[in-house]
Amino acid sequence: MDVVSISPATFIVGHPRSGTSLLRALLDGHPDVLVLPFETHLFDWVKSGDPVTSLLNRTRLWPTLHRHRPSISRDEVEGVLTRAFGQTREPRARLLALVEGWRKLTGARSDTRWVEKTPRHLYEATTLLEWFPENARILVMRRDPRDVIASALKQKPTRAIFQMALTGCLAHHVVSEHETDPRLSVITYERLVRHTVSTMQTVCRFLQVRYDPVVTTPTVLGAEYSGNSRFDGTLKGVSEAAVGRYREVLSGPSLERAEALLAPVLTAGGYAPTHPTRAGRHPIERAAIAMIVRSKLWRSRALRTAFGGA
């Protein structure tokens, strides 16, 4: 059996803008972990007749590698991936082929636990756990949904509160479905940035790798990680600066509406609402979200995309 097929798999998932990139960067330097420093968006290209081209077009694999390993040419990357993919057809086999190709490009050991991060793979948790039933681990990032909305609005101010609240509730529902599975662990963004050492010790135990202090310093292929905040400036290392930033973006009716629509998510995460006495407002929109969640129609990738990138 190919060694990559039995090497332990880890998936970092969560609602976009929830801190998945930071967690991935913290694991980047661990000597017993192989981190793919780009989002694979596996289910977007995995059935392509030309998986190598589709992979390179859909992901930031090449830009990331070229930035940090400029001596490696694109032709070399394409050659390694082409050989790794070989005659693969099935999605699981192609994911493993991608991991094997990345090992060859980076010179990583073949027995290390590997880590893949694509936030929306949260919705593929059942499939991923079926593919790797024995040793898979899923790390779910949870963040104050008001900060998630604030970050999204900084990126695109025209986004609708209802749309973003809906995707937040869908993500919460998926986590709830898997919360009793010991192969899944929820990591809170606020705890990660405030208590990095203890949180990363917990993460390492969950992944069954030894704790190494290097996991408190975020990097990308060994280089300094400056974060991907939508706000001005960069975040050096691990910073609490992004906690509570929703107060800079949301106020008045917008904040009240967001909290009303996201009430179950706030409660599950232990986030105190600013307007606790107004949680019952906006009943029509709350009912619409509840109906969509119950319908299960959102499990269609096409419909989730229509909801706003869930």
- Residue 230 has, within 13 A of its CA and on its CB side, a CA count of 19
d(CA 305, CA 310) in angstroms, rounded, equals 6
Which residues neighbour 158 within 8 Å (Cβ) at sequence distance 6 or greater? none
Helices 61-68 and 74-85 pack at an angle, to 10 degrees, of 130
pTM: 0.93
Side chain identity at residue 43, one-letter code: F
- Residue 44 has, within 13 A of its CA and on its CB side, a CA count of 15
d(CA 198, CA 176) in angstroms, rounded, equals 24
Which of 146, 130, 153, 170 shows the shortest CA–CA distance to 14?
170
Sign of the CA dihedral running 271, 234, 31, 17: positive
pLDDT at residue number 237: 80
Burial tier of 223 (Cβ tally within 10 Å: 0-12, 13-18, 19+): exposed
Domains of the chain: 3-32+112-308 (3.40.50.300)
pLDDT at residue number 306: 52
pLDDT at residue number 310: 55
Per-residue pLDDT tens listing for the chain (310 residues): 344 445 799 999 999 999 999 999 999 999 999 999 999 999 999 999 999 999 999 999 999 999 999 999 999 999 999 999 998 999 999 999 999 999 999 998 888 899 999 999 999 999 999 999 988 999 999 999 999 999 999 888 999 999 999 999 999 999 999 989 999 999 999 999 999 999 999 999 999 999 999 999 999 999 999 776 656 555 678 999 999 999 999 988 999 999 999 999 999 999 999 988 777 889 999 999 999 999 888 777 655 555 555 5
8 A C-beta contact, residue 153 and residue 308: no
8 A C-beta contact, residue 150 and residue 274: no
8 A C-beta contact, residue 248 and residue 150: yes
d(CA 292, CA 69) in angstroms, rounded, equals 45
